Homo-oligomer: A and B are copies of this chain.
Amino acid sequence: MPGPFTLGQIASRLGGRVAGDPQTLIRQVGSLERAGDGQITFFNSKKHQAKLGETRAAAVILAPENEQLTRLPRIVADNPYAYFARVSQLFNTAVTQALGVHSSAVVSPTVKLGKGVSIGAGCVVGDDVVIGDDSCLYPRVVLYAKSILGKRVVVHSGVVIGADGFGIASEDGRGEGPWIKIPQIGGVRIGDDVEIGANTTIDRGALDDTVIEEGVKLDNQIQIGHNCHIGAHSAIAGCAGIAGSTRIGAHCTIGGGAMIQGHITIVDHVHVSGGTAITRSILKPGTYTSLYPFDEHGAWKRSTARLRRLIRGKRDA
């Protein structure tokens, strides 16, 4: 673990302004509640002002407007959370796995590995896969044949990249089974600096490729269907599902458990709330929501019955 650094050393590396003793020695980051001796924390919201008063951290990162809320040694920065992220990266490596290919991994001889790659225990890497420099597969990742990963891609355990998309044709054309399988002959291309959470799945394309652009961050248990295209620097939270052939723009965020229909387009800078179902294209940046409000079960039941009557009554009228 690198460090320790003084507050002054941190500010000279990362910017920001020190208030209080610049010689304060920092060894690690910590939360407002639990940070102690030698630990620096951050303060981001007035909601936590009581915690700030009680923290035993050695120093705090906060915004200019909050500078006077504590007498602790501190670093004043415009974006305290981003600053905190940078400080944590000073003390902690983002990837915690040894370099090289673990002896239990099964890696095709036709794979092309960049420099500084780490492939964990039990990974399976198929034919003609390409993995860029400094990328890391944690244990038990599967990359089907021909998947292409950029540089500094981090893939967590249980992820499956390049499995067949859900491509089936109705035998009689009426949208019901029996089904004829459409061989999935596209690939998957993943850009630089993408991170993919545990047990997420990204299907190979049916004909063309599934594409995840650079800087995309995917949480756990996300499903990305075949031929999706996720734009640069978008972030998708856990349990979201993106159906096939949908195109999501750059700088979007998709909340946890959101379901995005297939064959639609979502432009750049769109934010979808958690639990929301998106059923048609979104062509205007903004935030979109579809939640039906929760309520105590009895009240919900009455409201729902009332709602039915309202709708029916009006229709009949």
Contacts and interface: CB of A to CB of B under 8 A. Distances in A.
Interface in A119-147: 120-122, 124, 138-140, 142, 144-145
The SS class assigned to the A binding surface is loop
A233 B315 contact: no
B215 A179 contact: yes
A69 interface: no
Given A33-B208, A88-B185, A274-B261, A197 B251 contact: no
Copies in the complex: 3
Contact of A217 (B79, B122, B166): B166
A215 B145 CA distance: 26
A259 B275 contact: yes
A85 B251 contact: no
Contacts of A173: 78-79, 81-82
A239 B241 CA distance: 7
B238 A166 contact: yes
Nearest to A252: B176
Interface string A162-174: 0110111111110
Given A179-B215, A217-B179, A160 B241 contact: no
A198 B82 contact: no
B92 A168 contact: no
B145 A142 contact: no
Contacts of A302: 315
A293 interface: yes
Given A122-B106, A220-B223, A177 B140 contact: no
Given A106-B104, A238-B166, A31 B156 contact: no
A305 to B, nearest CB: 9
Contacts of A33: 208
Contacts of A241: 221, 238-239, 256-257
A111 to B, nearest CB: 13
Contacts of A257: 241, 257, 259, 277
Interface string A16-51: 000000000000111101110000000000000000
Interface of A: 28-31, 33-35, 78-79, 81-82, 84-86, 88-89, 91-94, 96, 102, 104, 106, 120-122, 124, 138-140, 142, 144-145, 154, 156-158, 160, 163-164, 166-173, 175-183, 185, 195, 197-199, 201, 203, 206-208, 215-217, 219-221, 223, 225, 232-235, 237-239, 241, 243, 250-253, 256-257, 259, 261-262, 269, 271, 273-279, 284, 286-297, 300-304, 306-308, 310-311, 314-315
Closest 9 CB pairs of A and B: A177-B233, A290-B294, A92-B183, A275-B277, A257-B259, A287-B297, A163-B198, A124-B139, A79-B173
Given A163-B198, A225-B238, A293-B304, 6 more contacts: A138-B144, A176-B233, A177-B217, A178-B233, A201-B238, A279-B293
